[in-house]
Structure 1
Amino acid sequence: MISLGWEPMSSSTDAQGGLRADGIDVLGADVWRERERRHRERVDALLADHLDRRARGIAHPVEDFLFTYYSHRPAQLRRWHPGPGVLLAGPTAQAPASNWYREAAGTDADGRAVRGTTLDLDAFAARRGSTVDFVRGLLGAVQERPAHLGCFGLHEWAMVYRLPADEVRHAQVPLRLGTQGTDRVVESHRIRCSHYDAFRFFTEAARPRNRLQPTRESQTALDQPGCLHANMDLYKWAYKLSPGVPGELVVDCFELAKDIRELDMRASPYDLREHGYEPVAIETPEGKAAYVEAQRAFAERAGGLRARLLEVCDRLRPEPVEPGERAVDGG
């Protein structure tokens, strides 16, 4: 079985943690509070630099994207959830988000009765069922496709193609090859961007140069496992299903998005050396090779996370109601 972010307890454990025969994971108060504590410590370490910069009003051209494009706030990321099929045992158990949880009784590995709280799957399905169905359909389709690794991150270049300097998104960061050099890179390559949420930021001059013309409606048909942005978006799909996704898995997806964002910007036309990022010069054979190697590693890493999210979807909603229902667009 693919891990969902918690470890099954052995049959010798007591009420602090045990696995019922029907698959309900019973976590004693000491166990789940420790997992909650470790989750918060992990998130605090990941967000420390961002929160420090934010407090001092300092912008960051690479990492701010994770908190502006994506709508999940740091306080929400810190909040731990156990995921479906978990009973938080203990008379003083406080559910992480009480309106999503219900009181329940369970049995620990030694057959003793345990009371606590668990995710209310009926309430979750009523409020988020169509989102689960959309995410499962999208991620399942992507997971079955081979990875295309030949885009070389040209989407970032297409976003500044033939733009006046004062209209460039990160105007405070210089273009590594200058305006004309950047335009020549776009004009000397075939662009094949399949991800709508990257393509929609192309300049008007760059759009006809893309071999594909993705739309929101074609997202499920076009997204593919080699795409950096599709893999970053695993974080979005994980938090859009919160509190149904284990907190550990949401943070795993955040870490992937954070790491991919670094490659995305190192391979971009921007010169980020003053911020500590060496360029991946995709206009050269060496840069292309380095990009593909990193892209392949991210695709493999994302595949494991995508599989875990798909299993969570199956546990949240065993039977989709209507095909074609979709999640609300946005970050």
Structure 2
Amino acid sequence: MEVLEREEWQARAASHAARVDAYVTPHLERREARVKHPVHDFLFTYYSQRPAQLRRWHPGIGTALADAPEHAGLRGYAERDGLVSVTAEHVERQRPLLEATRRLLRATAARPAQLGCFGLHEWAMVYRLADDETRHADWPLRLGNEGTDAVVESHRIACSHFDAFRFFTEPARPLNTLSPAVDDRADFEQPGCLHAGMDLYKTSYRLLPMVSSDLVADAFALAWDIRILDMRAAPYDFTGIHMDQTGEEWTPVRIETAEGKREYAEAQQAFAARGAPIRQRLIEWCDHLLAGD
């Protein structure tokens, strides 16, 4: 058991908070001003972890904190002999989650990345909808309704991710060549899928406080960048929206063209490569926790 004195673990906690505050603070400012961002709010609204939870640092199993009353009352922790740490009893209660998570992660990692979806899931979510029915009704469709529908109808739709497929419009659902469901993710998930990459963030925070917050922050940063590509390839016209922290404005990935398809597939491959070590670290955490080492 590694023991961190208060000064050391507080420094790590402050460093973690500063890292994620680059994302959290602008979101909270927008929320206070009641200004919505169709790209950057997603990780705070779609996923269940709140900004305050993302900012809170956890060392993970195997590390004890000295003089840490802030952690003593948190779920999964207990104080013994003046040291606060995640308990073996909490890990044991999470065994079903750990086993299911490891099974999904291993199945995903074992498959080659499929790069031929071209982000058409977002297009299928607005297929044959009126302007005021789309998920981002404040923003027009870049090709208009008819042009958007034509893109959907002229392409092979091959969405492997249930949480994207479930938002397809009713007319779009039969167009998908796959039929992923909530209970068979391990049969469909593959590492080239943008949503599978973003969900590494969800997977990591669901394992808190058993895993390190450093891993959660890495997964969050990956999900943030993936979300930008996801929306750049979406059918919406986000002209004037700033897509990254440097202030660079939105430019579309025109997946309806050959050049846009190449751009999307190359970025998709890069994200798959970037997500692979995060997925492997999660697998190793699950192995460690299930072994009870």
Which of the five TM-score ranges fits, normalised by the shorter chain? over 0.9
Q: Distance in 1 between matches of 2:291 and 2:149?
A: 49
Determine whether 1:70 maps to 2:47: yes
**Alpha carbons 1:142, 1:224 under 8 Å: kept:** yes
Write out per-residue CA displacement over residues 211-231 of structure 1, whole angstroms, 9 at most, x where no aligned residue: 101111221110000000011
Structure with greater Cα Rg: 1
Cross-structure match for 2:264: 291
Read off the aligned partner of 1:72 and give its amino acid letter.
Answer: Q
| Aligned counterparts, 1:138-287, within 5 A | 138-275=104-241, 276-287=249-260
Q: Secondary structure at the match of 2:85?
A: strand
Read off the aligned partner of 1:267 and give its amino acid letter.
Answer: A
Once the 2 structures are TM-superposed, how far is the Cα of residue 135 of structure 1 from its aligned partner?
0.8
Read off the aligned partner of 1:204 and give its amino acid letter.
Answer: E
Q: What is the aligned length?
A: 284
Q: Distance in 1 between matches of 2:72 and 2:233?
A: 40
Once the 2 structures are TM-superposed, how far is the Cα of residue 93 of structure 1 from its aligned partner?
2.7
Q: Secondary structure at the match of 1:317?
A: helix
Give the TM-score normalised by the residue count of structure 1.
Answer: 0.83
Write out per-residue CA displacement over residues 119-177 of structure 1, whole angstroms, 9 at most, x where no aligned residue: 10222322x22111111111111011111011000000000011122211111101000
Give me the CA root mean square deviation.
Answer: 1.4
Q: Which of 60, 65, 80 pairs up with 2:37? A: 60
Q: Which of 117, 125, 128 pairs up with 2:92? A: 125
Write out per-residue CA displacement over residues 9-33 of structure 1, whole angstroms, 9 at most, x where no aligned residue: xxxxxxxxxxxxxxx3332322211
Q: Distance in 2 between matches of 1:213 and 1:73?
A: 31
Structure 1 portions without partners, runs of 5+: 1-23, 106-114, 320-331
Read off the aligned partner of 1:74 and give its amino acid letter.
Answer: P
Q: Distance in 1 between matches of 2:44 and 2:84?
A: 31
Q: Percent identity?
A: 55
| Aligned counterparts, 1:37-52, within 5 A | 37-52=14-29
Q: Distance in 2 between matches of 1:154 and 1:222?
A: 17
Cross-structure match for 1:80: 57
Q: Distance in 1 between matches of 2:96 and 2:72?
A: 21
Structure 2 portions without partners, runs of 5+: 242-248
Read off the aligned partner of 2:123 and give its amino acid letter.
Answer: W
Structure 1 residues 26-35 or 287-296, which shifts more?
A: 26-35
Cross-structure match for 2:68: 93
Q: Distance in 2 between matches of 1:82 and 1:54?
A: 29
Q: Distance in 2 between matches of 1:100 and 1:161?
A: 44
Q: Distance in 1 between matches of 2:119 and 2:72?
A: 39
Q: Distance in 1 between matches of 2:87 and 2:79?
A: 9
Give the TM-score normalised by the residue count of structure 2.
Answer: 0.93
**Alpha carbons 2:72, 2:79 under 8 Å: kept:** no
Q: Secondary structure at the match of 2:83?
A: strand
Q: Distance in 2 between matches of 1:36 and 1:259?
A: 23
Q: Secondary structure at the match of 1:234?
A: helix
Q: Distance in 2 between matches of 1:97 and 1:70?
A: 26
Once the 2 structures are TM-superposed, how far is the Cα of residue 312 of structure 1 from its aligned partner?
1.3
Once the 2 structures are TM-superposed, how far is the Cα of residue 97 of structure 1 from its aligned partner?
5.1
